[in-house]
Amino acid sequence: MNQKRSLPIRILIPVVFALLVPSSAAFAQADPHGFAVELFGGYFAGYTSSRGITVHDDTLGVRASYRFNRVWAVEAAVSRVNEDLVFWNDEISLKAYLLQRDHFGLFALAGPGLQRAKFAGSSYNAKTVHAGIGADFALSPKLYLRPEIIDRWPYDFLNNRYRTTDYSIGIGWRF
């Protein structure tokens, strides 16, 4: 009697496993690896524990990325904040896609960076760490929109409750 019950289970387990795990050929065909370039713009906000949130002028930038597989990508970005105090953000990020559908991908990214500023004839450079979340919306097989929020913390001031945030939207092209 136990053999009759265990036979369907022994057949059912491999069938369910085969349905749940995609074949390697199907995975390779759906693998969106390759280079992409983006132009982006948005608003820049700073936060300090003493002044709260202050919204600054717009920010403009460019990104280049390489996607290794369906989950992992690496990217480099350069952005400029346009206000009285001119500064640049240079960053390298590791990006992980958390959710993907036909024309949509949700991702998180993090990495190190450098914030360069010039004001009143002097300049400073601050090492930063950043983390963000965003999405890719495919407009065509190559063209996409990318809204994103990134927080940055100067490495030297991690305990001082100072950070900056970019709210941006980009347009990109996959090669």
Q: Each residue of 28-67: pLDDT tens digit? A: 334 568 999 999 998 877 766 566 666 666 789 999 999 9
What are residue 69's phi and psi, to 5 degrees? -160, -160
* Domain count of the fold of the chain: 1
Confidence of residue 153 (pLDDT cuts 50, 70, 90): confident
* Mean pLDDT taken over the chain: 80
The residue ranking higher by pLDDT, 142 or 20, is 142
Q: Answer yes or no: is 118 within a domain.
A: yes
Please indicate, yes or no, whether the overall pTM of this predicted structure exceeds 0.85: no
Residue 4 counted as domain residue: no
- What is the rounded CA–CA span in Å between residue 27 and residue 91? 31
What pLDDT is recorded for position 40?
92
User: How much is the average pLDDT of 17-21?
Assistant: 46
Q: Is residue 17, in this structure, part of any structural domain at all?
A: no
CATH code assigned at 144: 2.40.160.20
> Residue 157 has what pLDDT?
62
Give the residue numbers spanning the domain of 138.
Answer: 31-174
User: Contact 113/152 with Cβ under 8 angstroms?
Assistant: yes
In a domain, 12, yes or no: no
**Cα torsion 122, 79, 64, 163: sign:** positive
For the segment 60-108, what is each residue's pLDDT rounded down to a tens digit? 999 999 999 999 999 999 999 876 677 889 999 999 999 998 889 999 9
Question: Does residue 20 form part of some domain?
Answer: no
**pLDDT interval class at 5 (50, 70, 90):** very low
* 163 domain-assigned: yes
The verdict on residue 15 lying in a domain is: no
pLDDT at residue 45, rounded to an integer: 74
Asked whether residue 2 is domain-assigned, the answer is no
Mean pLDDT of 128-142: 94
Q: What does the block give as tokens for 138?
A: 């495919």
Asked if the model's pLDDT at residue 2 lies above 50, the reply is no
